[in-house]
Amino acid sequence: MTVVVTGGARGIGLGVVDLLLEQGDRVVVVDVNVEPLLGRESDQLALVEGDVTEVRVIEEACRLAGPITGVVASAGISRPGPSDDYPTEQWNAILALNLTAVFELMRIAARTATDGASFVAISSVTGMQGFAGRAAYSASKAGVDGLVRALAAEYAPKVRVNAVVPGFVMTDIARANIASGVIDDELVLDRTPMGRWGTPSDIAKAIGFLLGDESSWVTGASIPVDGGWLSFGLGSEQNRPKQFPI
């Protein structure tokens, strides 16, 4: 496979890149900072440093890729804050990166996609449930779910389009949010039936399934990979937290 991965230098995106390289696939990584991958470039790995909200950056990555068999839209940001005084420019920045850039990537990649290509976006449980202080992020991820359904209908049968829906995954951003008090580590663990945080590898493996032939009849789906977060409901009395992380 030849796969374009945005946000591939860290977090979930890096987990996907590691998986694909291990499988022997060719990968073009786009990230605003590719430093973590410098020195790993080869015939198998190409790097494009730039902001994926700029169409020219996406076009360059797709040009380098040539015929595209897969896309993983992993670039994203989360900036929590109360809605009453949330800056409009911050709202616009989150929508531009988390949603509009996904649309641009997929429609540009579709021009050179091979028959049977698979496009995967990263959604979130916050797009399916209400999280205080996450209006912009939640809206962007709910938009991703709607986008993949629309493009799945439009691009079939040539290209499949799906999303994975991660729960709480331990990345550098998550660690920073725990340290700053934005996320309560214990509440996340109490609220997750599997009793642990997810890892980038957990999400990457699900993405690998969606990219591969084993999922050849799966399109337009948003698949939770969340340790049971979305299925929790009220849970048991002894496990139900009294508040929820934002």
Q: Which domains does the chain have, with CATH numbers?
A: 2-168+199-225 (3.40.50.720)
Active-site annotation holder among 8, 29, 108, 137: 137
Q: How many Å apart are CA 140 and CA 146, to the nearest integer?
A: 10
Using omega within 30 degrees of 0 as the cis cutoff, is the peptide bond preceding 157 cis?
Answer: yes
User: How far, CA to CA in Å, does 122 sit from each of 16, 40, 48, 77, 84?
Assistant: 11, 24, 20, 12, 27
* Spans in the chain with pLDDT lower than 70: 234-246
Among residues 216, 103, 101, 98, which one has the least CA distance to residue 157? Answer: 216
Find the angle CA(122)-CA(233)-CA(167) to the nearest 5 degrees. 20
Contact 12, 30 (CB under 8 A): no
Q: Using alpha carbons only, what angle is made at residue 112 by residues 111 and 113, rounded to the nearest 5 degrees? A: 100
Burial 125-143 (b: 16+ CB within 10 A, else e): bbbbeebebbbbbbbbbbb
**Does the annotation count 86 as an active-site position?**
no
Tokens matching residue 183: 């996320």
Question: pTM above the 0.85 mark?
Answer: yes
The predicted pLDDT at position 173 comes to 82
